[in-house]
Structure 1
Amino acid sequence: MTASTRATALRKRLDGPLKLAISLALMALLLRAVHWREIFAVLTHIHAGWFALALLLFQLGVLVRAARWQILLRAGGVPAPLALLVRWYFIGSLFNTVLPTGFGGDAVKTVALGRYAGRPGVVLGSVLLDRFSGMAMQMPIGIMALLLAPGAASPTVGWLLGLLFGACALIVLLMARRDWALALQRRFPAVARVKAGQILLDAIPTYGLRPLLASFGVSLIFNALLIGLNICLGLAVGAAIPWRYYLIFVPLISVSLVLPSFGGLGVREFSYMALFTQVGVTPAAAAAMGLLFYAVTMGGALVGGILYLTPAAWWEPAPDSRSLGVEQP
């Protein structure tokens, strides 16, 4: 075993415990800033109806994201049935919740569908683009809210949202223009040496503009559900604030969840506190919103666990090997 291989193996072993330690440390800091009894008092008096609606919107969001994934897979030549994709999206929610990373479910979906279709490269590219398109379409929503209500957020929040919007717009242009992507690769060769960067440069431009626009359109529907879900959580804890703040804050919270943590725990709650306390929400209520969102994801993980233990014969019809470009034995 070479030194680089040993270093990689050691890094993988330490990755999970490190992220768990980060989440525990952030939760400890959170409980120093807000006493747990205050958060508990908010959680024990939530409006059950609004929380139930948030749970429903999360489940609908999984169906919408599965439809978006199907669009990208079809563009890559993998016509997987929607029932199969819904199943693995729910199972992905399970692994995103129980593994010490917000991307564990992506790996599970990639391996499962890669074996099903026999084209793991196309599946991996679709999973990465599916994740990106959902996040990218949140930025225009936040920018539009800032334009309609310039004083709705602090200048720092506005600049951060603008930078993220610019970065996402650049990536979309690179997806649509193969020659631009190749020019970037020549100018910054380090991008191609990173596995994720190589996939973005080589796989994504092959989808074409129409599937990209279709996936972004579906992402708008999903983001509307996500914002509606957060509004329900705010109403559940008694945070009666204008809806435009959710248009600005929800995209930033989503981006914060890429930071290392155990399923977003700690990072999510601090993000809710840092943003929503700016508009009059109490720290305890803001932290409770973050914890309730985690509870909502646990609901999706429960469905994923049931599906994971359920025989998949009627969920997974055999692929048409001719449509997948696989030779018959």
Structure 2
Amino acid sequence: MENRRMSVPETESVAPEERRKRNLLLVIRFLGSGGLLTYLIWQANPANIWAAWQRADPWLIGLAILIQFLCIGLSALKWGVLLHTHNQQQPYRWLLGTYLIGQFANNFLPTSVGGDAIRIVQLGRRINNYAEASASVFMERLTGFLALSLIANVALLFTSTNLFGTRLVTDATLTLLALGFGLVAIMAVVVSFAAPWLLGHVGRYIPNAVRKPLQKIADAFGIYATDRGTMLKAMGLSVLFHLLWISLHYICGRALHIDAPLLLFALMVPLTDIVGLAPIFFNNLGARDLVFTLYLNQIGIATSTALALAFTAFSIRLLVSSVGGLVILFGGRR
């Protein structure tokens, strides 16, 4: 009886402690993003940002919105390609709707992975295999990260050598971050492909109750290592996605009358996405604005215009991802 009395308070204290940690992290993210963003806006003068918006070309903004929809469509297509490796043929309409719901969660919830969890749960229920669902969503993300790091590092090489007439100064921290992100992405791919082999060597040290579900996930990852055609298609779609994402920002820049080379956007947009993965930022807020300001200031673009560009791209992302909310409301229980 004594042991039972002692175990109850210990069990009850775990949940509040975890909630406090999550709440603290949430506060840190809001303070990190909100504090940096407030400082940049104060430095630029909100009136100047509004003036830059008033000069925007609505037709080019409309084109950028269409490109954002195309980006999501490509991502859903890549997800379907990866599922083919597991002989899971899912209707594109369902993949697109589920992806839109995931985007809605990512952009309107205080997390950047909530949408991935939703996709895993929805797909896992549909195919009755959560291991394959998890592997497909993870690989969809991972190929995107690999393409992102590739473009960022190539752009860093070109802009640091003046090879194309656009020499930019990049802080050493950002350079190391881009290189480190690329190495981590490559290592993650290698580990994923080697998951069955790794688990075979360390599996005997893992309890049986844990080893069985891990084996299913490892086998799901291992299948991708044997399907080079699918992985090449996924990487091609990932590169195309990021090129379109960069073009979206370039078009937004032209809409705001920013005369900047495309190569500059090919550098600062991927770097923004990499920096924004840090847990102190909420949905890239603050990170995007800081990176845009650092690079556009170098070619004589005012901070207010740089912030107007960042806000425009973010607003387009929110607008398109809000369609996922409509899917939730009117798409039915399925």
Q: TM-score range by the shorter chain?
A: 0.7 to 0.9
Query: In structure 2, the residue corresponding to 1:137 is in which secondary structure?
Result: helix
Matches within 5 A, 1:117-132: 117-132=127-142
Quick one: distance in 1 between partners of 2:154 and 2:41? 35
Return 5+ residue gaps in structure 2 as ranges. 1-10
Quick one: distance in 2 between partners of 1:137 and 1:274? 23
Question: 1:241 deviation in Å?
Answer: 1.0
| C-alpha distance 259-161 of structure 1, shift in aligned 2 (>3 A) | closer
Question: 1:293 deviation in Å?
Answer: 1.2
TM-score by length of 2: 0.81
Q: 235, 238, 252: which is aligned to 2:271? A: 252
Q: Which residue of 1 aligns with 2:7?
A: none
* Letter aligned with residue 173 of structure 1: V
Q: Which residue of 2 aligns with 1:47?
A: 57
Q: 289, 292, 306: which is aligned to 1:286? A: 306
Quick one: distance in 2 between partners of 1:227 and 1:180? 38
Return 5+ residue gaps in structure 1 as ranges. 317-329
Q: 261, 273, 283: which is aligned to 1:263? A: 283
Quick one: distance in 1 between partners of 2:48 and 2:197? 53
Q: Identify which range, 39-48 or 115-124, moves more after superposition.
A: 115-124
Q: 149, 154, 170: which is aligned to 2:169? A: 154
Query: In structure 1, the residue corresponding to 2:117 is in which secondary structure?
Result: helix
Q: Which residue of 2 aligns with 1:62?
A: 72
Superposition RMSD on alpha carbons, in Å? 3.0
Contact 1:135 1:254 in 2 (8 A): no
Q: Does 1:299 align with 2:319?
A: yes
* Letter aligned with residue 130 of structure 2: P
Matches within 5 A, 1:1-329: 1=11, 3-149=13-159, 150-151=161-162, 152-155=167-170, 156=172, 157-177=174-194, 203-208=220-225, 209-210=227-228, 211-260=230-279, 261-312=281-332
Contact 2:196 2:222 in 1 (8 A): no
Quick one: distance in 1 between partners of 2:55 and 2:249? 17
Question: 1:240 deviation in Å?
Answer: 1.0
Q: Deviations over 1:110-140 (max 9, x none)?
A: 2222222222232122222212211210222
| C-alpha distance 185-131 of structure 1, shift in aligned 2 (>3 A) | farther
Question: 1:13 deviation in Å?
Answer: 4.0
Q: Identify which range, 226-235 or 126-135, moves more after superposition.
A: 126-135
| C-alpha distance 159-14 of structure 1, shift in aligned 2 (>3 A) | closer
Q: Identify which range, 200-209 or 271-280, moves more after superposition.
A: 200-209
Question: 1:54 deviation in Å?
Answer: 0.9
| C-alpha distance 162-119 of structure 1, shift in aligned 2 (>3 A) | same
Quick one: distance in 1 between partners of 2:124 and 2:249? 33
Contact 1:69 1:127 in 2 (8 A): yes
Contact 1:174 1:180 in 2 (8 A): no
Question: 1:104 deviation in Å?
Answer: 2.1
Q: Identify which range, 230-239 or 153-162, moves more after superposition.
A: 153-162
Quick one: distance in 1 between partners of 2:23 and 2:157? 46
| C-alpha distance 184-290 of structure 1, shift in aligned 2 (>3 A) | farther
Aligned residues: 306
Which of structures 1 and 2 has the bigger CA Rg? 2
